[in-house]
Amino acid sequence: MVSSSCVLWAQEPAESRSVWDGVYTEEQAKRGEAVYKKECGACHGEMLTGGESAPPLTGGGFQANWNGLTLGDLFDRIRKTMPQSKPGSLTRQQDSDVLAFMLNMNKFPAGKTELYRQSEMLKEIRFETKKPTAKD
Amino acid sequence: MLPRKAKGGSLPFACLLMSSLIPATAFAQYHPKDTEWPSYAADLAGTRYRPLDQINASNFSNLEIAWRIKTDNFGDRPEYKLEGTPLMVNGVLYATAGSRRAVIALDAESGELLWIHGEHEGKRGGAAPRQLSGRGLAYWSDGVDERIFYVTPGFRLICLDAKTGARVPSFGENGVVDLKLDDDQTISDWNSNHEWVPNLETGEIGIQSAPVVAKDTVMVGAAFREGMTPRSMRNNKGYVRGFDVRTGKRLWIFHTIPKKGEFGYDTWDKGSAEYTGNTGVWSQITVDEQLGLVYLPVESPTSDFYGGHRPGNNLFGESLVCVDLKTGERKWYFQLVHHPLWDMDISSAPILADITVDGKPVKAVAQPTKQGFLYVFDRVTGKPIWPMPEKPVEAGNVPGEWYSPTQPIPSKPAAYSRNGVSTDDLIDFTPALREQAKQIVSKYKLGPVFAPPTVSKLEGPLGTLTMGTASGGTNWPGGSYDPETHTVYVYACNSCIEPIGLVESPKEVSDLRYIAGVAGREVQILRGPGENAGADSPKPPKRRAGSQYQRLDIDGLPLVKPPYGTISAISLDKGQITWQIAHGETPDVVRNSEHLKGMNIPRTGQETYNIGTLVTKTLVIAGEGQVTTTSEHPRGAMLRAYDKVTGKEVGAVYMPAPQSGSPMTYMVHGKQYIVVAVSGGPYSGEYLAYALPSAGE
């Protein structure tokens, strides 16, 4: 997964996007925050720092888990397994909004367009921990 | 999903295996072998030790995955928190697995699935406080029958025929003992009228650890929801029970909260023993079969951080209790923390060790803890091996709280991980980072171990900044013990900061006066996995002005100095730390930090609380709890081996995901295996079996 996406990036830098490219909007993150607080915060913590039994959704450990994968992978993980008591009970829009809130809390920049709701399209957005320096 | 055969490995042994399961000597008592792993922690002493040496310093890095098994299909959804440690007896590996907490039996050489058992518990399972696959199971044999015991999420003790996976009809009711019954209390829950009424379906009690079998008694403790924000000062109690392995008949019960008239009842002022609950034994029980003694690590009473509704020392909360294997009668106890206020559950298996102190042999028990003290006692008498004087500790000023004026502090060994926060602990890679860290912590109260929680205030303090509390030090995986060198090996999180602030609880949220929270932010009930925030649950008050997110890191860098996680070797003969190393690759967020560009940072270890160790003839083995992406390996984690004498790393092998369950080892037909559970983030649960390449490969 890592090597193939790196190859893709190397070949098509202009079309390939990452979480550093403003892939959600502030407004979407705000909607996501409301959903998060209702559906996710009790286990993962209001500040996404995790609980005794649920992992953090922010910070170095969380980001390292997803480094090199795509937002599609992260979206599918949420969609298929969360909330744990009722997996799949949120709409795609709600899941997408929660993902936008998570990106915001992880200090990835907001942009002008909202996140997709389709896994296949989200798979085109790479989750990268390191901020690219050569793309300015 | 099908188990893969070892590359060039041997033929399936299913037929041979089935015949080998019939014992040659009928009715002979089962005697575990050094090459097997018959208990959750290798043996009843909690050592996680096997004297195997085929895998050693010279070849550890050559290990290959011999077989692997994904656990996705052992439940109606995949699990990302696989915490089990399998057993291995007679060439068969037994494990709990998947979101169903299924029990699986595998051929220990090939990984072939021999049988599977699962209980469909419906709402009772769905309402359970501790769900998912759990940590393991127990094995028993009298030389003829072989039985496997485990506890379902819905709190049923199940007895299976180890050969077939079928329930044993003669045990309990058709192989089941309902643990919510015959518990010297009526398991209850709140109804919609806020009345505390009997309810076997949703009444809160369960367990995720493995039952323990010693001689002919199977023992089970109890666990509850997370206790930082309980809905009530009242809850079910976590008693410990022993059952007959053949019939399931209850043999004894130990009241972890004494009943009226029993010893310790008077440590609960104002009748608080009547309604206070929790105080279970959710971690592993250990047993000295020869002495006929059982060691119970007891957790906190109801409400982790506010004890105003349970004035007094609260026996046997956060105590190590020794009871008789046959009767459950208390032999001795030692309360590690009086009037618990820090979530210092005794969270792992007590370790039994026959040591030599000042030239005299001592039968000892050593207890790793969240607070980084290794408490060591004579396990016959309960007397500390080295003095543990009661030392004055700071009293707080939370309204209505009751404070113990002293706490016992071990004089030896020294604390093996941080258990308080001071300015000296703060990050010091650069002066600027130190200043930023000082700025962040200035909003909190700092202090040493047992610094009291505070009421959270907008103007400060937001809370007490603690380490060695809820998630610090050593948690459920516990430590290992080498009986050859009388050394305990134990992982500790050395950077798990826990802010403990209290806020007044709105009546519609909890009947406690205070629960955990942060000034200016919504009061929220904190839950564990699978707990449902139901549609009818009370709505919290709206956010008040002035609240802000306060992150306890600097652009991902931990607030405190490395090492972030350690493995310590502690000589029990001397009461001294003989070596201590940073365990785990430097996290990506540290290695790639803009703040540290151009700096050479030695390996920092990792901030995680769930690392178990394994000790063999020559090695200490433990995986990493965090994923990293480095120039040496793609995104993944390493299973590392250290020379057990020096702590020097002697090998490492790649895992696709972090270690989430403690490793174990065994040998079958001349080949040593190491099995470890991995999961987390994008990676669903999987057991990996490593072995050396076969000759000629």
Q: Would you call A81 and B78 a contact, using CB atoms and an 8 Å cutoff?
A: yes
Q: One-letter amino acid identity for B254?
A: F
What Cα–Cα distance (Å) separates residue B548 from each residue in A103, B162, B502, B542? Answer: 18, 55, 16, 14
pLDDT above 60 (res A88): yes
pLDDT of residue B520: 87
Q: Which of B591, B609, B652 is nearest to B62 (CA)?
A: B652
ipTM of the complex: 0.80
Mark the ranges of chain B whose per-residue pLDDT is less than 50.
1-27, 529-547
Helix or strand holding residue B455 (H, E): strand B454-455
Beta bridge partners of B488: B481, B570
pLDDT of residue B546: 42
Using CB atoms, pick whichever of A49, A60, A66 lies closest to residue B587. A60
pLDDT of residue A134: 58
pLDDT above 90 (res A84): no
Chain A nearest-CA residue for B228 = A52
- Nearest-Å Rg of the Cα atoms of chain B is 24
pLDDT of residue B237: 98
Could you read off the pLDDT of B413-468 as tens digits, one per residue?
999 999 999 999 999 999 999 999 999 999 999 999 999 999 999 999 999 999 99
Q: Would you call B607 and A43 a contact, using CB atoms and an 8 Å cutoff?
A: no
Q: Would you call A2 and B635 a contact, using CB atoms and an 8 Å cutoff?
A: yes
Cβ atoms of B430 and B595 closer than 8 Å: yes
Buried b vs exposed e over B240-279: b needs ≥16 C-beta within 10 Å?
bbbbebbebebbbebbbbbeeeeebbebbeeebbebbbbb
Task: Decide: residue B57, CB within 10 A, 0-12 exposed, 13-18 middle, 19+ buried.
Answer: middle
Q: Would you call A2 and B634 a contact, using CB atoms and an 8 Å cutoff?
A: yes
pLDDT of residue B29: 65
Q: SS3 breakdown of chain B: % helix, strand, coil, rounded to 5?
A: 5, 35, 60
For the CA atoms of B423, B426, B428, B430, what is the dihedral angle to 10 degrees? -90
Q: How many residues does chain B have?
A: 697
Q: Would you call A84 and B530 a contact, using CB atoms and an 8 Å cutoff?
A: yes
Cβ atoms of B306 and B513 closer than 8 Å: yes
Supply φ then ψ for residue A7, to 5 degrees. -65, -45
Chain A nearest-CA residue for B590 = A60
Residues of A in contact with B524 (CB under 8 A): 37, 41-42, 46
Query: How far is the C-alpha of B619 from the C-alpha of B642, rounded, in Å?
Result: 5
Query: How far is the C-alpha of B595 from the C-alpha of B541, rounded, in Å?
Result: 40
Query: How far is the C-alpha of B22 from the C-alpha of B142, rounded, in Å?
Result: 12
The dihedral of CA B463, B467, B469, B471: what is its sign? positive
Where are the extended beta strands (E) located within B60-155?
A: 64-70, 87-89, 92-97, 102-107, 113-117, 138-141, 146-151
Helix or strand holding residue A21 (H, E): none
Query: How far is the C-alpha of B140 from the C-alpha of B572, rounded, in Å?
Result: 31
Using CB atoms, pick whichever of A42, A68, A80 lies closest to residue B524. A42
Q: Which of A129, A122, A94, A126 is nearest to A3 (CA)?
A: A126
The dihedral of CA B619, B622, B623, B628: what is its sign? negative
Q: Which of A111, A132, A102 is nearest to A39 (CA)?
A: A102
**Least Cα separation, residue B123 to chain A (angstroms):** 11
Q: Would you call B589 and A80 a contact, using CB atoms and an 8 Å cutoff?
A: no
Q: Would you call B528 and A67 a contact, using CB atoms and an 8 Å cutoff?
A: no
Could you read off the pLDDT of A5-49 as tens digits, one per residue?
433 444 444 458 999 999 999 999 999 999 999 999 988 988 898
Residue B505, C-beta contacts closer than 8 angstroms, at least 6 positions apart: B511, B512, B513, B514, B515, B523
Cβ atoms of B89 and B78 closer than 8 Å: no
Question: Over chain A, what is the mean pLDDT?
Answer: 86
Cβ atoms of B551 and A47 closer than 8 Å: yes
pLDDT of residue A108: 96
Cβ atoms of B569 and B488 closer than 8 Å: yes
Cβ atoms of B134 and B151 closer than 8 Å: yes
pLDDT of residue B6: 33
* Percent of chain B predicted with pLDDT > 70: 92
pLDDT of residue B696: 53
Q: Running DSSP on this structure, what letter comes out for residue B414?
A: P
Residues of A in contact with B587 (CB under 8 A): 60-61, 64
Residue A114, C-beta contacts closer than 8 angstroms, at least 6 positions apart: A24, A25, A27, A28, A96, A100
**Three-state SS for A42?**
helix
What Cα–Cα distance (Å) separates residue B86 from each residue in B4, B475, B661, B689, B695? Answer: 18, 19, 9, 11, 27
Residues of A in contact with B556 (CB under 8 A): 59-60, 63
CB atoms inside a 10 Å sphere around CB B646: 12
**Least Cα separation, residue B555 to chain A (angstroms):** 8
Query: How far is the C-alpha of B612 from the C-alpha of B664, rounded, in Å?
Result: 10
Chain B nearest-CA residue for A42 = B526
Residues of A in contact with B552 (CB under 8 A): 49
Long-range contacts of A86-92 (CB under 8 A, 24+ apart): A86/B532, A87/B77, A90/A35, A90/A39, A92/A117, A92/A118
What Cα–Cα distance (Å) separates residue A99 from each residue in B80, B408, B574, B626? Answer: 18, 47, 52, 22
**Least Cα separation, residue A69 to chain B (angstroms):** 9
Cβ atoms of B471 and B492 closer than 8 Å: no
Query: How far is the C-alpha of B163 from the C-alpha of B114, rounded, in Å?
Result: 9
**Three-state SS for A77?**
helix
Check: pTM over 0.95? Answer yes or no: no
Cβ atoms of B391 and B406 closer than 8 Å: yes
Residues of A in contact with B470 (CB under 8 A): 52
Residue B430, C-beta contacts closer than 8 angstroms, at least 6 positions apart: B595, B596
Q: Would you call A52 and B471 a contact, using CB atoms and an 8 Å cutoff?
A: yes
